[in-house]
Amino acid sequence: MSDEFVKVAQKTDIPIGTARVFNAFEKEIAVCNVEGEFYCIADICTHDGGPLGEGELDDYQIECPRHGARFDVKTGKALCLPAILPVPTYKIEVRGEDIWVATHATTSGAR
């Protein structure tokens, strides 16, 4: 089965070193710009539902603004407590200036 993608943003919408939250395919997702490479995770912390996309992005790590858990935006892996379970990740395709996100998670995470 091939992945289905939807256009969610333009590259210029997400400056380097930041994350932006979008509502796409009925899900809240956070697209992160790490040195010009884009990664997408669910905007829901697996600890207690915190808004991950509002967290600080430091290299490949995003910190949940609620209690400070960190996740690897490339893999979704939880890197420190209080989160234990990974967050879902979504494939990205950059087509010209546009960012497209797969509608099905690559890694399912916890929820």
Enumerate binding residues for ligand FES (CB under 6 A): 45, 47-50, 64, 66-69, 82-83
Cβ at position 32, least distance to ligand FES in Å: 16
Cβ at position 85, least distance to ligand FES in Å: 11
Nearer to ligand FES, 20 or 47 (CB): 47
Cβ at position 46, least distance to ligand FES in Å: 8
Cβ at position 54, least distance to ligand FES in Å: 11
Nearer to ligand FES, 41 or 99 (CB): 41
Per-residue CA distances from 78 to 29, 46, 48 (Å): 17, 9, 13
Cα 91 → chain centroid: 10
Nearer to ligand FES, 42 or 105 (CB): 42
Burial 81-94 (b: 16+ CB within 10 A, else e): eebeebbbbbebee
Distance CA(86)–CA(6), nearest Å, equals 23
Residue ranges of alpha helices (H) inside the chain are none
Phi/psi at 13 (5° precision)? -75, -20
Nearer to ligand FES, 52 or 101 (CB): 52
